[in-house]
Structure 1
Amino acid sequence: MDATEIHSQMIEIGEKARAAAAELAYAKADRKHAALIGAADAVWKNRAKIIEANARDMDYGREKGLSPAMMDRLMLDEDRIRGIVDGLRTVAEQRDPVGDVIAEWDMPSGLHIRRVRTPLGVVGVIYESRPNVTADAGALCLMSGNAVILRGGSEGFNSSQAIHACLVEGLKGANLPEAAIQLVPTRDRAAVSEMLTMTDHIDVIVPRGGKGLVGLVQREARVPVFAHLEGIVHIYVDKSADPKKALDVVLNAKTRRTGICGAAECLLIDRDIAEGLGADLVAALKAAGVRVHGAEGIDGTVAATEEDWGREYLDMDIAAKLVDGVDEAIAHIRAYGSNHTDCIIAEDSAPVARFFERLDSAILMHNASTQFADGGEFGMGAEIGIATGKMHARGPVGAEQLTSFKYLVEGNGATRP
């Protein structure tokens, strides 16, 4: 299609989404529940077709030369499809946030005022590699009463289509508008540019992908954006850390899945334990196949350079540095972090309190793997992304975070003097 055809197609999609959003705003919870359970059943029933579609995407990804981390994000097998099904079911069982009374009060004038949750309207989601985002975003937007326009990455085109067909099957079965969850039917990047300027049709854009995609969206979008640019995740190991906890947490945070935004990218070690636990941590990482970019005093795989600080590897690499206590760790994270997720490993409560008080990342952790930085692990069923900004949503964006609010004001003939 040429640019004119894509523009016309996107406007049509936007108009359908806006109409669907108006209907979803008052859809009953039982219909949303039925749609999500129906979608989950359809995904499992069609898992062979989804895996077949994913195989074509994997071939396409190899031809494009995607990195191992990106290929891992792209890949679907039966276990991951089971995860998609479980995510859909978990969201289905959540309490519907629409209409929740956030606050309620009476005024001397006789007014009774309620602040209640209401959908945002139409959400645009632009994502790379991860076809599971098709299901996660569709489910969360539906539960929160929003219509969604999904634009998956070219590498996951076939997988996303197969999953989207299951979501539509669920909508049909629940007698909800099919346009509530739409998938842009083209790989052409012009569709992304269109979405970023569709202020009459889209209320918020959520980008899920690498620095290039998210940076592009943040620079060019005229529609408001929920985004994080990078997951530059730090772990600080305090001198009071329990050795076993530290080894378990650091290894899991780095090696469980290196390609996700919650993977640890920088290890900060209290200088007082450099020759004991610090050396053991570095040795364990190297033994696990991690390339340790070590600063002075650390026996790394390679010497760290200035470029290693503030770097999101998304691979079997980690930067490592000795620091003089929690305050230097905090200063380093402030200088090089991305306000995504940071962790302290310590048994002494004082440095933990200081770490929590003086850092303002969206997620701060104590003695827990940063791989838990995920909406599903927070009890949200799934997430549409992790927002690191400070306006509206922050941290994992689940159904509740995809709502705004309105005021319902009631009187009994009240007049203002």
Structure 2
Amino acid sequence: MTEPKRKQFGESHQAQREFALQVVQQLRGAGHQSLWAGGCVRDQLLGKRPKDYDVATSATPEQVAEVFGKRRTLAIGAAFGVMTVLGPRRAGQIEVATFRTDAGYSDGRRPDRVEYTDAQHDASRRDFTINGLFFDPIADEVIDYVGGQDDLAAGVVRAIGDPEARIEEDKLRMLRAVRFAATFGFELDPATAAAVAARAGQLTVVSAERIGAEAARMLTHASRARAVRTLSELGLLPATLPELHRLSQEALADRCAALDRLSEPGLPLALAACLPPTLGSPAGSKLCRRLKYTNDDAKQTDWLLDNRGAVAAARQLPWPRLQRVLASPGAGDVLALVEAESDEPSAEVAYCRERMARPPEEWNPPPLVDGRDLIAAGFQPGPEFGKLLEQIRDEQLEGRLGSKQAALDFAAAHYQH
């Protein structure tokens, strides 16, 4: 993160924290108990900066709307006792949830109904003790009904109450347990781990979108390799990343080692590192479609798979072939991928970096035309527009096109619409 972005993030965090305090104060002023809840309390106690703040309160959704006004509240989650309160621009928005207990989880995802209650019973229906903490920002006091502070100090992820019951309520908690343990470097409580392992096959009832979101958070965090190993140990890989589950233990260890060597990867790079070098497209896009990732993620993952072989053999390739790879937007990622797949410095990657250190006009000249040039020349945008621009770029880098007019002539000869 650059210094200006870091400063901007710090300012927005401070604004959100102040707004979260104001929300508590306003609810208290209207006669309702209110506390900070969940992840923001956990993160503060771990010395981390919370990404957002949640408020729990004795006020019902209707009472929350009365306190803040209908123009500043969204009732999207009101059926589950959750209201969104809109703050100043920098502060964003805060979810305000009524203290509740959940009754029945027939779909293994969300409660069949909720009943309003007090803070202690609200804490008992949450997933893990480290997430079941409250904080009074006015009294500067932690309120702990579930032993969360002790588990934070011991570095343990433990289900609240009966772990089997907690997992039965929402099967996604199995992935969340793995993510929290990996992210914080904690151990899974043995009873919680046993409950997850016993129900791993039931993860398939969770939607692909929710599984994909948890997998993405694991794979883009520094603890990604540990997360994958834990998923494997608990039997969760078949429903999460079956491509890894099908590997031998030795091959899985290689993939984990590659993941471990990556530094702050985006999702496509992390996904490509999960897949062995024997796989190319469409393995990446199949994985992305299954987990409901974007088309851009799918396209970039496949591109990385298809081009890591070129970088791994860089010095043996004809320069125009390698040049097309190095001149692509994903060049940095494919170099990082090849580098991560070796436990020794890569001479091929070093060769590529030396080439890329030269003046750009030698290896990455500006494109001869772009989409605006084609439109100005009378071409109608269509599904083939992007492919045509890629073809023109390839011809340029191969040395067969050297001017804008030559590129437009090529387009006229090859455009299909």
Bin the TM-score by the shorter chain.
under 0.3
TM (norm. structure 1) is 0.21
User: Which structure is larger by alpha-carbon Rg, 1 or 2?
Assistant: 2
Specify which structure has the bigger relative contact order, considering alpha-carbon pairs within 8 angstroms and separated by 6 or more residues: 1
TM (norm. structure 2) is 0.21
* More strand by percentage: 1
* More helix by percentage: 2
